[in-house]
Amino acid sequence: MNDMTQPFTHLAEANAALLTNFAQSPAMFEMANANVQKYFELAQQSFERVVVSDVYADLIRKLTENYSTFAREYSASLLDWSTQGQSLMAQQAQTASDLLADSGKATPTALGRASDTVKHLRAR
């Protein structure tokens, strides 16, 4: 019995081989290469026109302004962080100083009580 799909398979394989040979032929390579070169020439010409245009100059100016604004804001942020850090350090130093002062006041009082207790015990 003859397979009915065999002719279709052979046709598809033969056409795929023809298309592959056509796409890989030197003539197609030369045409594709010429088209790519032409594309790059046109792109370069377009880019050259853009570079000398007012639109490009405006783009560069606005990009520069954006980076300048960023640098100014970032510097202000760093300065603010530094100021907050210094303020926090000063506050902590003051708190530590207050604690030391309070502990210094408590020590004579505690010593006075202890000596009173010792005097009271000796008097008995």
- Distance (Å, whole) CA 19 – CA 66: 53
Asked if 81 contacts 74 with a C-beta cutoff of 8 angstroms, the reply is no
- Its pTM stands at 0.40
For every one of its 124 residues, what pLDDT tens digit does the chain have, with 9 covering 90 and above? Answer: 568 889 999 999 999 999 999 999 999 999 999 999 999 999 888 888 887 888 888 999 999 999 999 999 999 999 998 888 888 888 888 888 888 777 766 556 655 666 676 666 666 6
